[in-house]
């Protein structure tokens, strides 16, 4: 009989371990899925969000046909029907909700003659020295100047000759510096680069911008990518990153690189692990920079970032399951 109980207990332990690993694997799968590509506009499962634009087409009632933008309340607005909240709905769900709302006011409205389309939109972010920094939606890819103008135009202290455009590329942030001032002076703002969905435009203050020869370029996952002047004894990698406003949440401080250009045109790349520097405080792990150096701060892999962010949740779940296993063990003793 004792042997029978031992077998039962062992079997329960094995089941508990399998459950624990299965649960952990499920969570990791969910996190990995959330970090993968999300449905795009036009996909049936895409969910509308604030700033998206929808087109209402009612052939037999032209006065109802219009293009509407989902506002900050998550709703579109009709003159008679009022607000219709469609934030978070798919295009099909939005179609049904808008139709039902309008049908209450126009009973003769026929479903087969009523269409709702999600329009392609380009969302860009404009920050820094503009009148109204924020998130802006365009029906098509705007030029850099159109985005600045939509944000109320530059302030009087904006450094228009060093406007930065931050783009996502291959999982990393790439920064392009554009001389908007020159384009304005020459009357060729239409030749300025067009922006992609998700791009960020940064206008720094002319008082803070440095264009001398003894500075370093800081790019990648920092708050304010740009060119910064070395400040005496504070000429190390960490100080340069702090001048750039520090890092964004997904920055990988363990994978920082310093690019140093040589006179023969070649480039020397030095790997810098600032995670180790912050743990050990060893100055040798935070090397000094030279004028002309470029500091590159990469972003963490999206899956790894999600896993790290939610690691405490995973440990908590595994600990809970382990406790259940112990209870099973004791029950079967």
Taking CA atoms, 287 is separated from 119, 129, 196, 236, 256, in Å, by 50, 33, 36, 5, 11
Tens-digit pLDDT profile for residues 93-111: 999 999 999 989 889 888 8
Percent of the chain, pLDDT > 70? 73
- Over range 267-290, report the average pLDDT: 90
Helices marked H in 36-117: 91-105
Q: Of residues 72 and 234, which shows the higher confidence score?
A: 72
Residue with tokens 């969000």: 49
Instruction: Name the band, by pLDDT with cuts 50, 70 and 90, for residue 318.
Output: low
For residue 327, give both structure tokens. 């209870």
Q: Of residues 327 and 277, which shows the higher confidence score?
A: 277
Those residues whose C-beta lies under 8 Å from the C-beta of residue 109, and which sit 6 or more positions away, are: 58, 61, 99, 102, 103
Those residues whose C-beta lies under 8 Å from the C-beta of residue 106, and which sit 6 or more positions away, are: 61, 64
Predicted confidence (pLDDT) at residue 23 exceeds the cutoff of 60:
no
CB atoms within 10 A of CB 73: 11
- Over range 271-277, report the average pLDDT: 92
CATH topology of domain 210-300: Outer membrane lipoprotein wza fold like (3.10.560)
Determine the Cα–Cα distance for residues 321 and 99; give it in Å rounded to an integer: 48
Evaluate whether 178 touches 165 at the Cβ level (below 8 Å): yes
Q: Which CATH architecture has domain 53-119?
A: 2-Layer Sandwich (3.30)
Q: Which of 128-132, 153-157, 311-315 has the highest mean pLDDT?
A: 128-132
Q: Of residues 37 and 315, which shows the higher confidence score?
A: 315
Homologous superfamily in CATH for domain 122-208: Outer membrane lipoprotein wza domain like (3.10.560.10)
Q: Domain coordinates of the chain in residue numbers? A: 1-40+311-333, 53-119, 122-208, 210-300
Residue with tokens 């008679």: 80
Q: Nearest-CA neighbor of 125 among 113, 114, 133, 117?
A: 133
For residue 292, give both structure tokens. 């002309």
CB atoms within 10 A of CB 84: 20
3-state SS class at 125 = strand
Determine the Cα–Cα distance for residues 174 and 318; give it in Å rounded to an integer: 39
Task: Residue count of the chain, please give it.
Answer: 333
Evaluate whether 46 touches 40 at the Cβ level (below 8 Å): yes
Evaluate whether 121 touches 141 at the Cβ level (below 8 Å): no
Q: Of residues 317 and 190, which shows the higher confidence score?
A: 190
Determine the Cα–Cα distance for residues 182 and 193; give it in Å rounded to an integer: 13
Give, as one character, the DSSP assignment of residue 128: E
HSE on the CB side for 143, CA within 13 Å?
13
pLDDT on residue 32: 44
Evaluate whether 288 touches 235 at the Cβ level (below 8 Å): yes
Please indicate whether the domains covering 53-119 and 122-208 agree at the CATH topology level: no
Specify the pairing of strand 200-203 against strand 215-220. unpaired
Predicted confidence (pLDDT) at residue 44 exceeds the cutoff of 60:
yes
Query: Which residues partner with 83 through β-bridges?
Result: 77
Give, as one character, the DSSP assignment of residue 153: -
């Amino acid at each position: 009989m004792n042997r029978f109980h031992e077998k039962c207990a062992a079997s329960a332990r094995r089941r508990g371990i399998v459950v624990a690993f299965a649960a952990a694997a499920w969570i990791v799968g969910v996190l990995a899925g959330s970090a993968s590509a999300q449905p795009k506009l036009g996909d049936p499962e895409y969910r509308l969000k604030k700033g998206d634009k929808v087109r209402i087409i009612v052939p037999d009632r032209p006065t109802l046909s219009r293009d509407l933008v989902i506002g900050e309340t998550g709703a579109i607005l009709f003159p008679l029907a009022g607000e219709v909240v469609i934030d978070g709905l798919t295009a099909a769900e939005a179609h049904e909700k808008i139709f039902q709302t309008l049908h209450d006011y126009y009973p003769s409205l026929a479903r087969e003659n009523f269409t709702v389309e999600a329009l392609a939109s380009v969302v860009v972010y404009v920050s820094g020295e503009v009148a109204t920094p924020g998130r802006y939606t365009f029906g098509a890819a705007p030029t850099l100047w159109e985005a600045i103008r939509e944000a109320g135009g530059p302030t009087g202290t904006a450094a228009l000759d060093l406007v930065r455009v931050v783009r996502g590329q291959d999982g990393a942030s790439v920064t392009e510096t554009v001389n908007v001032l020159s384009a304005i002076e020459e009357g060729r703002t239409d030749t300025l680069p067009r922006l992609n969905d998700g791009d960020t435009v940064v206008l720094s203050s002319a008082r803070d911008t440095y264009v001398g020869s003894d500075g370093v370029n800081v790019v990648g996952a920092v708050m304010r990518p740009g060119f910064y002047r070395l400040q005496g004894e504070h000429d190390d990698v960490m100080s340069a990153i702090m001048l750039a406003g520090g890092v964004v949440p997904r920055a990988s401080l363990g994978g920082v690189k310093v690019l140093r250009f040589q006179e023969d045109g070649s480039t020397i790349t030095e790997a810098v692990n600032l995670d180790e520097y912050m743990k050990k405080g060893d100055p040798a792990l935070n090397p000094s920079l030279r004028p002309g150096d470029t500091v590159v701060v990469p972003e963490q892999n999206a899956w790894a970032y999600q896993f790290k962010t939610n690691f405490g949740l995973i440990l908590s779940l595994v600990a809970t399951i382990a406790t259940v296993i112990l209870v099973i063990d004791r029950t079967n003793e």
